[in-house]
Amino acid sequence: MIQRPQLRTEEVSHLQIDADQAGRRIDNLLVSMLGNVPKSHIYRMLRRGEIRINGRRAKPETRVAEADLVRLPPIRREPESQAARGGGPRGQFLEGRILYEDEQMLILDKPSGMAVHGGSGLRYGLIETLRNARGAEQFLELAHRLDRDTSGCLIIAKSMRSLRRLHEQLREGRIGKRYLLLARGTWKGPDRTISSSLKKDVRPGGEAVVRVDQHAGKAAITHFSLCRQFQDCSLLSADLRTGRTHQIRVHARHAGFPVAGDDKYGDEAFNRRVLALGLRRLFLHAQRLEIPLETGAAATVESPLPAELESVLRALTPSTPTAAETKRKAGRRRP
């Protein structure tokens, strides 16, 4: 059994690449994962052939693929303070945001602006902070991921057995995931399901960019429905049937409803408008999870919409229903 190391690499260890890491250059991946190991030391190990992918020497520009096995030699890390590791008040802050916990997992109300793991110049993300707060003896691993600017329900496994079970449930679509998003445009008609395949490209430096590609992309399914209508924008819910990178944001744009505050896939003019209303982040929130438990019951966990997003909704002008819509609603109320 190969278990992802927490990279206390005083001896030889192995790292198996997951779908989220696939496509990155090995040098950038190791810089982000090895914390306080100097870059010069990582490149020295690569030059010497001490880092291997599937038994072969890795070059700095080698890109890893899902399920690749990376061999890491013994690495001596520089000492680092508890504050630098993300413990102390930051760990206490995250502990106070736990929405649900049992022996197998915990669900945390992730704040917007916090990366779920270190990388891209960030040494410690949410998972590293939580590990340091709880101590090395407890297994903690992300069961899925949320974008840095997305808030809400995040699942963290507390054992390898639980992690495998959660991954299986996610692959099979047995975990219900509902998000709330504010999007440009007036929603008309019934709910709709977007099933356009998505392809992820990785730019130099590790930045992921996703586009619709029906031929080379991976299957992706998002079900959208209207929650509230405003003038020229809509509050939507999105139920994920798959979990691709940036799936909701790309599918929403593909449907003609780019997400408010999205500086990668959004609409610049709309973003300026909601910025004037006080929106300082991506308006995307992981609101609800439904997870089957081994007992046969299900854990249903909800995260309230953050105050900064509620404030934006209050500042928007509600849509005035048309005469036809008013007539239809009145007809539905008749006995």
Report how far residue 29's alpha carbon sits from residue 119's, in angstroms, rounded to the nearest whole number. 8
Angle at 125 between CA 124 and CA 130, to 5 degrees: 95
68 is an active site residue: no
Tell me the residue type at 323.
A
Report how far residue 150's alpha carbon sits from residue 197's, in angstroms, rounded to the nearest whole number. 22
Answer yes or no: are the C-beta atoms of 130 and 91 closer than 8 Å: yes
The residue with tokens 């029906």 is: 214
| Catalytic choice (27, 68, 109, 147) | 147
212 sits in which H/E element: strand 208-212
Q: Return phi, psi of residue 197, to 5°.
A: -70, 150
Tell me the residue type at 157.
A
Answer yes or no: are the C-beta atoms of 241 and 223 closer than 8 Å: yes
- The residues annotated with a catalytic role in the active site are 147
